[in-house]
Structure 1
Amino acid sequence: MPPNSVRSSPKLGKQLKRAFFDRRVLEVAPDLIGVTLLVDGVGGIIVEVEAYHHTEPAAHSYNGMTPRNAVMFGPAGFVYVYRSYGIHWCVNFVCEKAGSASAVLIRALEPTHGIAAMRRRRGLHDERSLCSGPGKLTEALGITHTHNGLPLDKPPMALYAPAARPDVVTGLRIGLTKAVDLPWRYGLKGSKFVSKPFAD
């Protein structure tokens, strides 16, 4: 078990409501580390995220509303799903007040619930590889475009607060060509389940 894992508690904490996301995206993003994300009961502990603010060019909302990103311009606490490079689905949580169009990309999970289902969907056994990337975790949790626009506090989605505040580390976001200098990637310190290790 990795250092600072919050997996040791068998009970789920308090369920998060949409109001949790009605804050600045740079406040919400680090607070999501250690939160348990379940989709139809399958999921795990969020160990890596990235924040995207509407004022910076890496955000999908930077150039305004389109049919693809319309959910980002709505109220906080909803799911934004998009296709990356025409291959993988990526899941984001919309933050801040309606119209601000900021969101948090969920990059990696530590699998804790429904691991057998994740293995079937991913076609592999290695637990560490099930959700160690944004496309991997959506496949493992069965997230597709059909989840786009769903509320985060109603089935099939559910988020639960950690029992204790975990140690959070920060770094540069991954795979970008714009706003590459912003340290808006957050992770669980010492977790082996992140998509890419954080620099010491």
Structure 2
Amino acid sequence: MPADPTPASDEHAADSTGAVICADGLARPPWAASDPLLRDYYDTEWGMPVRGEQALYERISLEAFQAGLSWATILRKRPAFRKAFDDFDPEAVAAYTEADVERLLADPGIVRNRLKVRATVTNARATLALRAEGGLDALVWSFRPETTPAPRTTAEVPTRSPESAALAKALRRKGFAFVGPTTMFALMEAIGMVDTHLVGSHRRGTSGIWT
């Protein structure tokens, strides 16, 4: 679940599962109930399977930039991030120089954090190195758990798991940065490796991975 739950407005009512019945009659978690951008992201992207090196590299990068910030902030800046980082093409980013780092730190459209910018370049190079071992996609998805949570309220949604801790450790061992267990659990939620849609949400089970 994104780290910044968005409170529902007074026109919404929570049902017994903890989901929020929105004006369109659909049940969503509180963080996706009010902000149109977050609602669209929840309805169309969050929790759906994501495969492929470039797509996963982008999501790992954005999750790293989100650390300590709201997901809404990152989502609003995502078009600027994509423009600044060559659509998160790992080959392009891996070739960045110090001049590129300074260019990025001067870009008001993104999060200008030197450690996170450098980590994104480092992670691009680590992504390329993984190709000799099966690739980023194979590594990430090898940590899919055997079961998924079934939270009824947001309080029941985990923030980390044994699998996210193991994934974080494996990625760090391969040279990745800003990939802690909590960040990796958020990644696993976002790409459908676990289904933490609230029981009662209209999106529960829509990934096709968990039934």
Q: Which has the higher helix share?
A: 2
TM-score with structure 2 length normalisation? Answer: 0.23
Specify the structure having the higher radius of gyration (Cα). Answer: 2
State the TM-score, normalized to the length of structure 1. 0.24
